[in-house]
Structure 1
Amino acid sequence: MRSIWNGAISFGLVSIPIKLVNATENHSVSFRQIHAADGGRIRYRKVCELEEKEVAQAEIGKAYEDADGSMIPITDEDLASLPLPTAKTIEIVAFVPASEIDPLQMDAAYYLSANGVPAAKPYTLLREALKRSRRVAIAKFALRGRERLGMLRVVDDVIAMHGLLWPDEIRRPEDVAPQSDVTVREAELDLADALMDTLGEVDLESLHDDYREAVEAMIAAKAEGGGALAAAPAEREGGKVIDLMAALESSVRAAQEARGEGAGEEAQVTPIKGRRSAATPKEPGTKKSTSTARKTAARKTAAKSTSTTAKSTSTAAGKSTAKKSAARSAEKSASSESSATKKSAAKKTAPRKRSSA
């Protein structure tokens, strides 16, 4: 990576030669201005207002515009002669916990690279001291014609520096918060917490710029002679939130479905006006009312009860008939045995009378 600034870190009496390189890069798709009628390139030319002619970059200098509109020329030598100790030095002024830095102050980010072999030892010393202390260093440095505030911290095995805005460059959030008094219920906070828990964490490496990819795809299609890509479906127009609780509940369900949760749960179907599913009972006022259904159910129950009673009666009658039949059979058997006994006795008596005669 190409360095944009060379200097040193001032750590007490220790000086660490370093190179400053950009830690970030811009991947936005840039466009040129053209003449819409013929596609000709539109360029900006630097023209001197007094001579009304274009001026080369080597002939352009700096100036400060005074209140009356007059220009006060400022040269690079003028700026270099300023008694500014941070012109070529990142001067550490304090070490503080990272939590004391307001993210609103964060500006551009840079990597600090040790410049040369002799700088390796003090560079490593500062890096390890920052790691062990779990603090960040607050420093002042000069870059691009102005003195800036910076924060040094360790990223992997490299010292990184974040440019910080000066405290007086942060605007006060006046008249930004809602002016009306709003009361938030505990139930609404609970649903908001549930939504945050459902959304959970995200791997920042998985996030990407969808808009840039769409622009690049469109440019590639037009470069190959094709037309514009199919228009994306129009987004729904935002409206006022009528029921905050319902919106939160719907958001929780949508987040759960997006994360694949609740797959085994029974889905709740909202009936569509004018339609009725087979499982949905008819509402009062239709051909079969609720009372009619109840009467029909009662009749079915009575019929079942009557059938059960008939079966029970039939079974009891059958048992009684069987008992009577058995009794009759027993009487007949006893009568037969008695007749046979009488006949046998009569036969024995008859021969005796004959013998006597």
Structure 2
Amino acid sequence: MRSVWSGNLAFGLVSIPVKLGSAVSSHKISFRQVHDADQGRVRYQKTCELDDEVLQSEDIGRAFETPDDELVEVTDADLKALPLPTAKTIEISGFLDLAAIDAVQLDTPYFLAPGSPAADKPYVLMREALVRSGKAAVGKFAMRNSEHLALIRPRDDVLVLQTLRWPDELNSPADAAPKGRVSISDNELRLADTLIDALGEADLDSYHDEYAEAVQALVTAKLEGAELPAPGGEDRGGKVVDLMAALQASVEQATGGGGGGRGGEEAAGGDAAGGETAGGEATVTELTAKSRKKAPAGKAAAKKGAAKTAAKGAAKGAAKTSGRSATAKKTAAKQPAKKTARRRTG
């Protein structure tokens, strides 16, 4: 494991030599910028804005810019001499349940490893204590010219340190929330619950980066002079005409029920309200074979019955509502006629 930081993990009066190494790697496809005319590589050079001199890394320092545009030089020696105990120590100051951490606050994960053989025993003690308590440790440490809030938790035989965003770095979600009043019916909620149950638990190990594979296939085809891969994907957009019908069709497709959205249209009745919100149109499309995860045969068969039961319940409820409305209209239409007939008889 390549170390990116080394120091001590301070747990009360126990000090454990540790080192940090990246817990993740990326398979992101990287492209080079080239000149279209001759395919020459495009390179960036750092220049001084005063004399246009091209600079090397050893010629470049750092400075802090004040609000009135004054530059204050800050050297590496200045930063190393900062009176921060967290420069070489991860100070644990408390513990909390993992459920109390907002996922939005989680940042970069690292493996926290013993810094020497002598650190193995206190390291394992710390790991086992966290396992028994069911909690994670919270502390601070400084790395790469910044102080970080950190969460330390056990994972298998190691400790994982995950940096956290500071609470005041989290933006308010208010601007992202739907505006205006949105009405959701009980039938719509029941069908959404059925769809969630039918799709089942997600197996993260079964997902893979199809974009990277497609780019690699494209590059290989170009190198070999072969036919380029056919365009893929589909337009997933579409105006919602009937939210209940779309939910019903999704449930039937997820459970292998087939039959399209006809049953959903009948179940919808007057419950389509809430499909659109102020400020724009929502889009719902049927699930495709690629985008949905099929449940095992036995599980799908069991859920298929549950899905049909829920769908029938929704349809029955809508039908009753429609029936009551029709009866009321007929009664209202007949009443004036009866009164007229009585007057004529009198």
TM-score bracket for the superposition, by shorter chain length:
0.7 to 0.9
Q: Does residue 79 of the first structure (1) align with residue 79 of the second (2)?
A: yes
Match of 1:151 in 2: 151
Aligned mates of 1:196, 1:174 — CA distance in 2: 26
Aligned mates of 2:231, 2:174 — CA distance in 1: 40
Q: Does residue 177 of the first structure (1) align with residue 177 of the second (2)?
A: yes
Match of 1:198 in 2: 198
Aligned mates of 2:236, 2:118 — CA distance in 1: 62
CA shift for structure 1 position 71: 2.0
**Which amino acid in structure 2 is aligned with residue 249 of structure 1?**
Q
| Number of corresponding residues | 265
Q: Aligned with 1:202: secondary structure?
A: coil
Q: CA RMSD in A?
A: 1.9
Q: Any gaps of 5 or more consecutive residues in structure 1?
A: 266-357
Q: Does residue 252 of the first structure (1) align with residue 257 of the second (2)?
A: no
Aligned mates of 1:254, 1:63 — CA distance in 2: 60
Match of 1:186 in 2: 186
CA shift for structure 1 position 227: 5.1
Q: How does 1:11-50 map to 2 (within 5 A)?
A: 11-50=11-50
Q: TM-score w.r.t. structure 2 length?
A: 0.73
Aligned mates of 1:176, 1:230 — CA distance in 2: 37
Aligned mates of 2:34, 2:58 — CA distance in 1: 27
Aligned mates of 1:229, 1:59 — CA distance in 2: 48
CA shift for structure 1 position 196: 0.4
**Which amino acid in structure 2 is aligned with residue 84 of structure 1?**
L
CA shift for structure 1 position 53: 1.8
Aligned mates of 1:86, 1:262 — CA distance in 2: 57
* Structure with bigger RCO (C-alpha 8 Å, 6+ apart): 2
Q: Percent identity?
A: 49
**Which amino acid in structure 2 is aligned with residue 71 of structure 1?**
L
Aligned mates of 1:87, 1:237 — CA distance in 2: 50
Aligned mates of 1:228, 1:86 — CA distance in 2: 54
Mean Cα deviation higher: 235-244 or 4-13: 235-244
Match of 2:117 in 1: 117
**Which amino acid in structure 2 is aligned with residue 241 of structure 1?**
V
Match of 1:236 in 2: 235
Q: How does 1:1-357 map to 2 (within 5 A)?
A: 1-226=1-226, 228-232=228-232, 235-236=234-235, 238-257=237-256, 258-259=294-295, 261=300
Residues 59-117 of structure 1 deviation map (CA, whole Å, 9 limit, x = unaligned): 21111122233321110111111111100111101011111111110000000000111
CA shift for structure 1 position 228: 3.1
CA shift for structure 1 position 237: 5.4
Q: Aligned with 2:231: secondary structure?
A: coil
Q: Aligned with 1:55: secondary structure?
A: coil
CA shift for structure 1 position 262: 5.2
Q: TM-score w.r.t. structure 1 length?
A: 0.71
Q: Aligned with 1:54: secondary structure?
A: coil
Aligned mates of 2:231, 2:184 — CA distance in 1: 40
Larger radius of gyration: 1
Match of 1:340 in 2: none
Aligned mates of 1:58, 1:5 — CA distance in 2: 23
Q: Any gaps of 5 or more consecutive residues in structure 2?
A: 257-293, 305-346
